[in-house]
Amino acid sequence: MHYLIVPGLNNSDEKHWQTFWERSLQNTSRVQQRDWDHPQKTEWIETLKATVENLKEDTIIVAHSLGVATTVMYLTQNHSNIPSHVKGAFLVSPSDVDNIEVIKHFAPMPLEKLPIPACVVASENDQFVSMERAQFFASAWGIKLYNAGKLGHINSLSDLREWEQGREFLAEFERTI
């Protein structure tokens, strides 16, 4: 299986679990956005689409934060044209683009069933999405939600390193696809 890392705003730095996973999981790559600090919705979605289309092996998208919104928008906009090698989406800490001013230009968050298997992982004390809102998204997308406990935004500030709990969630998700 190939893992495609899709970071959010400002990319995922050296302390972020996505960076640890990129180094430790075999067969992993990262989407390369032109501008991580000033994201443009259409450009981010198109970059993800082009990256996915260039992959030729079975892939799970591993998205975080604004990368989740980008992934969900890509999936819903290309509903019937998702390459068959995209086997699933592992969506961690979906930023609530409808309610966060700095990324509101990504709104609205799509609220339709996703065309591929997916899951959401959310934290009980994430400042960018409440657990209730994450549950709302998971329900609208027709997917399972994993409760990670109190890990903040599940980012570099959470200091999770390899984030073993997340790896367990990923392994469980992979068994279902």
Q: Which residues pair with 32 in a beta bridge?
A: none
Supply the range of the domain harboring residue 25: 2-176
pLDDT in tens, 143-153: 999 999 999 99
* CA dist list (Å): 49 to 4, 72, 82, 102, 150: 12, 11, 9, 24, 32
State the CATH number of the domain containing residue 133. Answer: 3.40.50.1820
Our count of domains for the chain comes to 1
What is the pLDDT tens value at each position of the chain, 177 positions in all? 999 999 999 999 999 999 999 999 999 999 999 999 999 999 999 999 999 999 999 999 999 999 999 999 999 999 889 999 999 999 999 999 999 988 999 999 999 999 999 999 999 999 999 999 999 999 999 999 999 999 999 999 899 999 999 999 999 999 999
Q: What is the 3-state secondary structure (H, E, C) of 78-90?
A: CHHHCCCCEEEEE
CB atoms within 10 A of CB 93: 28
